[in-house]
């Protein structure tokens, strides 16, 4: 049985060609075929992210022809399939990810507003695709944070100890194993803790920050212990930090190979697919490629 493909979404833009290179490398590492997809959009005036300003050309697909020419002379290129489909990219691409290992696209394609850090197609795919979605940013994004990352390949993963995402941890450790990288697990806890009391009521005793940090660390280490067993060759370091999880993940993205975040679990009163605020912030501001991982389907 052949491996599921890695999909690269292309539209002729520089952003999508960067995503193509990332997807090509991922397919090689996974010994998987590469599927290059161009969604040819025929849309009315005024719609954002218009890829084609008229009916699709019956004579062929210039975008895919460009990719063919680019990859034709590449040594070690995996098996490549070229697919052109018509429709709205933000709707079509997530559906194409149903049978894929990864769906890779650039942070902004043709026709998007230049002021946006992430196009609508990237947001739609990260929110709706059934497979992990990797968004490759433009080079040169600056992030701010204290400290200098340890040299060497590194995969960063965010871990919320109250609701750990096993699928996100699994992708992070798998990617680290494929890249010979270490995993940097970041688990944040809210600080300072806000305490409220009504007039006349006793104020609760202050929360011990060291105790909160130790408890968070203990829960975090328990959450990714199964991954240590599956990937004993992968070094994993945990950082337990106070405050904003998104800010810590964005800071850690500097010089990282990949940042992995979970998408969001469906909730009883909000059954539609959605992304948490931390995931959206990381997508918008991280300097490295970001993988958004859907939650694992519950077992029957």
Q: Mind spelling out the 3-state secondary structure of the chain? A: CCCCCEEEECCCCHHHHHHHHHHHHHHHHHCCCEEEEEEECECCCCCCCCCECCCCCCCCCHHHHHHHHHHHCCCCCCCEEEEEEECCHHHHHHHHHHHCCEEEEECCCCCCCCCCCCCHHHHHHHHHCCCCEEEECCCCCCCCCCCCCCCCCEEEEECCCCCCCHHHHHHHHHHHHHHCCEEEEEEEECCCCCCCCCCCCCCCCCCCHHHHHHHHHHHHHHHHHHHHHHCCCCCEEEEEEECCHHHHHHHHCCCCCEEEEECCCCECCECCCCCCHHHHHHHHHCCCCEEEECCCCCCC
Tens digits of per-residue pLDDT, 218-259? 999 999 899 999 999 999 999 999 988 999 999 999 999 999
Whether residues 186 and 286 fall in one domain: yes
The answer, yes or no, to whether residue 178 has pLDDT greater than 90, is yes
Whether residues 72 and 131 fall in one domain: yes
Q: How far is CA 121 from the centre of its chain?
A: 14
- Considering the domain boundaries, does residue 299 fall inside one? no
- Residue 195: pLDDT band (50, 70, 90) is low
The answer, yes or no, to whether residue 113 has pLDDT greater than 60, is no
Mean pLDDT of 129-146: 88
The answer, yes or no, to whether residue 45 has pLDDT greater than 70, is no
- pLDDT at site 266: 47
State the Cα–Cα distance between residues 222 and 187, nearest whole angstrom.
Answer: 12
The answer, yes or no, to whether residue 272 has pLDDT greater than 70, is no
- Among the candidates 84, 109, 136, a domain finishes at 136
Whether residues 127 and 173 fall in one domain: no
- Among the candidates 136, 164, 197, a domain finishes at 136
Task: Give 57's contacts (C-beta < 8 A, 6+ positions apart).
Answer: none
- pLDDT at site 296: 77
Whether residues 239 and 125 fall in one domain: no
- pLDDT at site 137: 92
Whether residues 193 and 248 fall in one domain: yes
- Residue 279 belongs to a domain with what CATH number? 3.40.50.12370
The answer to whether 170 and 140 are in contact (CB under 8 A) is no
- Among the candidates 136, 162, 196, a domain finishes at 136
- Considering the domain boundaries, does residue 149 fall inside one? no
Q: Find the domain containing 104 and state its range.
A: 6-136
- Considering the domain boundaries, does residue 60 fall inside one? yes
- Considering the domain boundaries, does residue 87 fall inside one? yes
State the Cα–Cα distance between residues 157 and 249, nearest whole angstrom.
Answer: 8
Q: For the ranges 8-17, 43-52, 214-223, which has the lowest average pLDDT?
A: 43-52
State the Cα–Cα distance between residues 96 and 133, nearest whole angstrom.
Answer: 12
The answer to whether 111 and 150 are in contact (CB under 8 A) is no
- Residue 75: pLDDT band (50, 70, 90) is confident
The answer to whether 133 and 123 are in contact (CB under 8 A) is no
**Number of C-beta neighbours around residue 263 at 10 A:** 23
- Considering the domain boundaries, does residue 79 fall inside one? yes
Order of all β-strands in the sheet with 6-9: 80-86, 34-40, 6-9, 102-106, 133-136, 290-293, 258-262, 154-158, 182-189, 236-242
- pLDDT at site 154: 97
Whether residues 172 and 258 fall in one domain: yes
- pLDDT at site 240: 94
Whether residues 161 and 67 fall in one domain: no
The answer, yes or no, to whether residue 50 has pLDDT greater than 60, is no
Whether residues 223 and 171 fall in one domain: yes
Q: For the ranges 14-28, 59-73, 195-209, which has the lowest average pLDDT?
A: 195-209
The answer, yes or no, to whether residue 53 has pLDDT greater than 50, is no
- Considering the domain boundaries, does residue 179 fall inside one? yes
- Residue 54: pLDDT band (50, 70, 90) is very low
Mean pLDDT of 84-94: 89
Q: Which of 88, 107, 125 is nearest to 22 (CA)?
A: 107
Average pLDDT, the chain: 83
- Considering the domain boundaries, does residue 145 fall inside one? no
Whether residues 240 and 166 fall in one domain: yes
Q: How many domains does the chain have?
A: 2
The answer, yes or no, to whether residue 186 has pLDDT greater than 90, is yes
- Residue 198: pLDDT band (50, 70, 90) is low
Whether residues 127 and 226 fall in one domain: no
- Residue 271: pLDDT band (50, 70, 90) is very low
- pLDDT at site 21: 96
- Residue 89: pLDDT band (50, 70, 90) is confident
Residue predicted with more confidence, 280 or 193 = 280
- Residue 121 belongs to a domain with what CATH number? 3.40.50.620
Whether residues 158 and 289 fall in one domain: yes
- pLDDT at site 148: 76
- pLDDT at site 23: 97
Torsions phi, psi of 29, nearest 5? -65, -35
- pLDDT at site 204: 59
- Considering the domain boundaries, does residue 164 fall inside one? yes
Whether residues 162 and 259 fall in one domain: yes
């Amino acid at each position: 049985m052949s491996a599921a493909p890695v999909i690269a979404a292309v539209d002729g833009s520089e952003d999508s060609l960067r995503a193509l290179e990332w997807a090509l490398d991922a397919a090689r590492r996974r010994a998987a075929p590469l599927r290059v997809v161009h969604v040819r959009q025929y849309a009315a005036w005024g719609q954002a992210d218009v890829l084609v300003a008229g009916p699709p050309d019956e004579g062929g697909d210039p975008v895919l022809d460009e990719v063919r020419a680019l990859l034709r002379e590449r040594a070690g290129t995996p098996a490549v399939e070229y697919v052109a489909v018509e429709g709205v990219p933000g709707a079509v691409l997530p559906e194409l990810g149903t049978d894929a290992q990864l769906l890779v696209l650039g942070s902004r394609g043709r026709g998007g507003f230049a002021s946006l850090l992430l196009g609508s197609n990237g947001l739609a795919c990260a929110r709706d695709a059934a497979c992990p979605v990797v968004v490759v940013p433009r080079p040169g994004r600056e992030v701010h944070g204290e400290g200098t990352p340890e040299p060497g390949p590194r995969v960063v993963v965010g871990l919320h100890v109250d609701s750990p995402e096993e699928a996100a941890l699994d992708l992070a450790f798998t990617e680290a194993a494929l890249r010979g990288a270490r995993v940097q697990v970041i688990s944040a806890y809210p600080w300072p803790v806000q305490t409220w009391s009504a007039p006349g009521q006793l104020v609760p005793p202050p929360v011990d920050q060291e105790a909160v940090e130790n408890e968070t660390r203990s829960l975090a280490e328990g959450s990714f212990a199964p991954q240590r067993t599956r990937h004993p060759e992968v070094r994993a370091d945990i950082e337990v930090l106070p405050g904003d999880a998104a800010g810590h993940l964005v800071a850690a993205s500097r010089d990282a190979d990949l940042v992995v975040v979970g998408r969001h679990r469906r909730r009883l009163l909000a059954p539609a697919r959605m992304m948490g605020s931390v995931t959206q912030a990381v997508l918008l501001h991280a300097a490295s490629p970001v993988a958004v991982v859907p939650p694992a389907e519950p077992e029957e």
